């Protein structure tokens, strides 16, 4: 494994040296790529959305896609666990809680488990940061935290983190640094969960 990684690294360096191709472009085809993450309300309206693909070049195209996936999934039973569907040559993983609908979209050749991990991480982080009160009203009042979650999970379509505890902990840190009105209780919960996760990982 180490030898393979070294060979890939050396090959990448050679290509970069000769063509100056950004690293993110080199490995985009080899790693999972998220096209968008959507958080919609029970009417299919936006709560928080972030796009990482040019498949929807205009805002009207984005809104049309959001309406399409909402309409196609609103009658499904995605409250107990995530469900997966194929829409317009895209894999969409989704889950609902209260009046919020969570969606993660990838290409039709993407790893479904990777997309599901992104969805679960987003879902868990939001649940923790909203102290279990996961509904539209609470989400809108803490919209800055939700967008910080998105920034911690995906950057330019590349997956950074999928563990909800770690995501919430990082968001709590950002909130302290920026003077956000995140409650001390929420920060403590987020970091406690992150520490517990790290401890479990070290004991394995």
Per-residue pLDDT tens for 96-149?
A: 999 999 999 999 999 999 999 999 999 999 999 998 889 999 999 999 999 999
For residue 203, the model assigns a pLDDT of 55
Other C-beta atoms lying within 10 Å of the C-beta of residue 182: 20
Domain ranges of the chain: 27-176
pTM for the complete prediction? 0.73
Distance CA 180, CA 84 (A): 35
pLDDT at 94 over 60: yes
- Residue 180: is its pLDDT beyond 60? no
CA angle 145, 71, 114 (to 5 degrees): 55
Instruction: Tell which CATH classification among 2.60.120.10, 3.30.450.60, 3.90.850.10, 3.40.50.720 matches the domain 27-176.
Output: 3.30.450.60
User: Which pLDDT score, from 0 to 100, does residue 175 have?
Assistant: 61
Tokens of 87: 């829409």
* Per-residue model confidence as pLDDT tens digits over 57-74: 999 999 999 999 999 999
CA 14 to chain centroid, in Å, comes to 32
| β-bridge mates for residue 56, sequence order | none
- Other CB atoms within 10 Å distance of the CB of residue 167: 27
Dihedral angle sign, alpha carbons of residues 61, 95, 74, 83: positive
DSSP helix/strand/coil, 131: coil
- CA 154-16-18 angle, 5° bins: 155
Summary mean pLDDT of the chain: 80
State the pLDDT confidence band at 44, using cuts at 50, 70 and 90.
Answer: very high
Quote the pLDDT of residue 189: 54
Structure confidence at residue 88 (pLDDT): 86
- In the chain, the N- to C-terminal Cα span, in Å, equals 21
């Amino acid at each position: 494994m180490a030898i393979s990684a070294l060979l890939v690294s050396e090959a990448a360096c050679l290509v970069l040296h000769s063509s100056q191709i950004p690293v993110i472009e080199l490995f985009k085809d080899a790693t999972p790529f998220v096209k968008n993450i959507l958080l919609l309300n029970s009417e299919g309206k936006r709560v928080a959305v972030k796009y990482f693909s040019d498949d929807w070049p205009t805002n009207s195209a984005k809104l049309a896609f959001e309406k399409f996936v909402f309409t196609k999934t609103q009658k499904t039973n995605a409250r107990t666990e995530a469900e997966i569907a194929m829409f317009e040559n895209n894999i969409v993983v989704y889950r609902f809680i209260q009046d919020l609908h969570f969606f993660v979209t990838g290409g039709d050749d993407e790893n479904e488990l990777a997309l599901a991990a992104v969805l679960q991480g987003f879902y868990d982080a939001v649940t923790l940061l909203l102290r279990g009160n996961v509904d539209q009203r609470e989400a809108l009042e803490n919209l800055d935290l939700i967008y910080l979650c998105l920034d911690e999970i995906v950057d330019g379509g590349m997956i950074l983190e999928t563990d909800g505890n770690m995501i919430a902990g990082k968001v709590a840190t950002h909130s302290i640094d920026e003077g956000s009105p995140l409650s001390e209780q929420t920060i403590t919960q987020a970091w406690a969960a992150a520490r517990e996760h790290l401890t479990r990982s070290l004991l394995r």
